[in-house]
Amino acid sequence: MAHEQNVSTAKQNGQDARIAEAAKANLDKAADKTNEQNKQFSDAAREGVNKMVGLHEKAAETTKQVMQNSIETASQHTREAADRFSKTLGFTGQDSERLAQQSKQNIEAVTRCGTVLSQALQDASRSLFELGQKQFQRNLDGLTKLTQAKTVQEFATIQSDLMRESLQHMVQDSKAITETSARAVNEASQTFSSVAPAR
């Protein structure tokens, strides 16, 4: 009877070992599948973001060209209107030349300022998109780190580190955008300062 009990225990231990090995193999397969799915998701997301960047750059370039064409057209119409206005009011000689020169300078300043501001808008838009792309990648990396946590304490530590880093990046990104905007405003201001007022 003791011998049968030992045989039964040995069989049970063998079955337990096989079950444990099968469970371990299933867990390994599930982990591999999860890692592969995470990689596929990350690759698909990266590809989507790259396509969006391309479309965004095309849209920004088209917008810039439309704005420049509009400014040039408005400048031409303003010059023509100023010429007609001068002729209608009967300005001649030096007055006509002075007014025409002042009008030309004003229109050129507006055109340069429009170009500067449209370039600044394009740069800011590109910067925002690039920053968004970087933040997306950081979020994916952070999610990967969180899924690799072994304990609740490790998860909490990783999560708090990610929150701190996210806020730090947000401050740095905001500073970069502010500096770019300030440079554009300064350059536009200098464009208008270079034009002497009419006398």
Q: What is the pLDDT of residues 171-181, one digit of tens each?
A: 998 888 888 88
User: Do the Cβ atoms of 120 and 181 come closer than 8 Å?
Assistant: yes
Q: Cα torsion for 102, 105, 111, 116, to the nearest 10°? A: -130
pLDDT score of 168: 92
Rg (CA), the chain: 34
Torsion 148-162-49-134 (CA) sign: negative
Task: Report which of 37, 16, 4, 47 is spatially closest to residue 136, judged by C-alpha positions.
Answer: 47
- Cα torsion angle, 31, 137, 58, 67, sign: positive
How far apart, in whole angstroms, are the C-alpha atoms of residue 140 and residue 193? 47
Most confidently predicted of 11-25, 90-104, 140-154: 140-154
Q: Are 174 and 124 in contact (CB under 8 A)?
A: no
Q: Residue 198: pLDDT above 70?
A: no
- Which residue did the predictor score with more confidence, 87 or 135? 135
Predicted local distance difference test score (pLDDT) of residue 19: 77
> Which of 39, 43, 188 is closest to 111 using CA atoms?
188
Query: pLDDT higher for 150 or 91?
Result: 150
**Can you give the pLDDT at residue 123?**
82
Nearest-5° Cα angle at 66, 63 to 71: 125
| CA gap 138, 167 in Å, rounded | 12
Query: Which amino acid is present at 40?
Result: Q
* Inter-residue contact 156 to 163 (CB < 8 Å): no
pTM for this prediction: 0.47
Q: What angle do CA 191, 194, 196 make, to 5 degrees?
A: 130
Express each pLDDT in 18-45 by its tens digit. Answer: 776 776 776 667 666 666 766 676 676 6
Are 161 and 71 within 8 A, CB to CB? no
